[in-house]
């Protein structure tokens, strides 16, 4: 089994009143492509009073795998076609983190 050593983290925010619609859009347009290429993916949501933040974490065996997926610089944003309609501002990049501890709650799908 291949082990994830890095995680790519994307964050974006939308207006609270369209958050459910954007969540469905992410699940239909963004997450499937990641699931086909990354070792695992998590989509997180934080609802605030007037806006909602989304975070997507994708898990990769190494930076080379992530670079192959992005066909270039892995920190560069590749926005979904509808992001401009949903997001308050377009994020400028993806953060890449080295995984130092990898422990998951039992009963959940694990990224590796």
109, part of any domain: no
60, part of any domain: yes
For residue 80, give every residue at least 6 positions away whose Cβ sits within 8 Å of its Cβ, in sequence order, or none. Answer: 25, 26, 29, 30
Judge whether 41 and 56 are in contact, CB under 8 Å: yes
Average pLDDT on 89-111 reads 80
Position with higher pLDDT, 54 vs 112: 54
Give the separation between CA 54 and CA 19, rounded to whole angstroms: 9
Task: Name the one residue in this structure whose structure tokens are 């998590």.
Answer: 42
Domain that holds residue 41: 6-98
3-state secondary structure of 92: coil
30, part of any domain: yes
36, part of any domain: yes
Buried-state track 36-62, b at ≥16 Cβ within 10 A, e below 16: eebbbbbbeeeeeeeebebebbbbbee
105, part of any domain: no
The whole-model pTM stands at 0.87
41-91 confidence digits (pLDDT tens):
999 999 999 999 999 999 999 999 999 988 888 888 889 999 999 999 999
């Amino acid at each position: 089994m291949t082990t994830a050593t890095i995680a790519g983290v994307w964050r974006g925010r939308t207006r609270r009143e369209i958050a459910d619609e954007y969540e469905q859009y992410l699940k239909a347009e963004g997450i499937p492509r990641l699931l086909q290429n990354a070792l695992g993916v998590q989509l997180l949501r934080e609802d605030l009073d007037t806006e909602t933040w989304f975070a997507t974490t994708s898990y990769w065996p190494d930076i080379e795998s992530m670079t192959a997926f992005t066909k270039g610089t892995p920190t560069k944003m590749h926005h979904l076609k509808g992001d401009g309609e949903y997001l308050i501002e377009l994020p400028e990049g993806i953060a890449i983190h080295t995984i130092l501890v990898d422990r998951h709650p039992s009963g959940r799908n694990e990224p590796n």
